[in-house]
Amino acid sequence: MAVDEPAEPAGARPGCGGLLTVLGCDGSYPGPGGAASGYLVQAGGVTIWLDAGPGTFAALQLAADPALVDAVVLSHEHPDHWSDVDSFAVWRREAVPGRPVPVYAPPGLRRRSYFAEDPVLEWHEVEPSQRVAVRPRPLQPTPGPASAPGGGAAAESAGGLRLSFCATDHGPPTLAVRIELGAPSGVDGSTRPALGYSADTGPGWAPMELGPGIGLLLCEATYTGDREGEGRHLSGRQAGALAAEAGVGRLVLTHRRPTTDPAALAREAVEAFGAAIEQAAAGQVHRW
């Protein structure tokens, strides 16, 4: 496993660079003391909670002020990717009443939530190939001295984030997502590379479907090559090969099942990718 970015304080100013904070990365279910899939994406003056698996809301509260979450994006209806959004809804009802948070999810997921019809959440059904813009919202950090890092971090002039989706090769409707700044970020008007997230998928999906210019691909790799075909997931070998084919800059593997040997998974992924890879770990912050 190679981690080429030093950890930095979560909750750093979202407006000054793209940050990806791993809240949880266990595949299919949380391992001992772990959390399932969930990430914070902070850039362009906005904070997006990308997947909300069990254990990730607890981690989110350590990484940032949950009141600063501008949108929740859920990849699919398997509970290891969304169930903590209901805990978040309970928290919002008490902490920030009267201000619904947009939740973007594929068809069918909303009806599984206890808060499907509750105005605390503002559900949006997302189809593959759809585009969504998330723009900075007025600041309303949680009152009180116990606010977590990240308060007051949104940049008013930031251009938000643009999201584009595509369907993956999984059971229920599942969305991979490309995330990029809503406005050029360089002094010369250049744009930063995009962040790609595979969600859960089998080998029938390819990262190149997210388009060119993926600087960091967060890609699932659930098991090792000897288990390929057991489910609609990827092995380390498959994830590495697909990422190489797509020409992504960096590869961060996630959704490793707790019973999978991380060293064996990394070995086959590095060989297939042809370069060093990173494996997601809870609390890690990656710049993209």
Give the binding site for Zn ion (CB under 5 A).
Answer: 80, 200
At closest approach, how far in Å is the CB of 112 from Zn ion? 15
At closest approach, how far in Å is the CB of 172 from Zn ion? 11
Is the Cβ of residue 79 or residue 215 nearer to Zn ion in the bound state? 79
At closest approach, how far in Å is the CB of 256 from Zn ion? 11
Is the Cβ of residue 185 or residue 235 nearer to Zn ion in the bound state? 235
At closest approach, how far in Å is the CB of 220 from Zn ion? 7
Is the Cβ of residue 76 or residue 192 nearer to Zn ion in the bound state? 76
Is the Cβ of residue 77 or residue 80 nearer to Zn ion in the bound state? 80
Is the Cβ of residue 53 or residue 159 nearer to Zn ion in the bound state? 53
What pairing do the DSSP bridges indicate for beta strands 250-254 and 278-279?
parallel
User: How many angstroms separate the CA atoms of 3 and 39, rounded?
Assistant: 17
At closest approach, how far in Å is the CB of 128 from Zn ion? 18
At closest approach, how far in Å is the CB of 200 from Zn ion? 4
Is the Cβ of residue 108 or residue 149 nearer to Zn ion in the bound state? 108
Token representation of residue 242: 């697909």
Residue 202 φ/ψ region, left for φ over 0, alpha for ψ in the -120 to 50 degree band, beta for the rest: beta
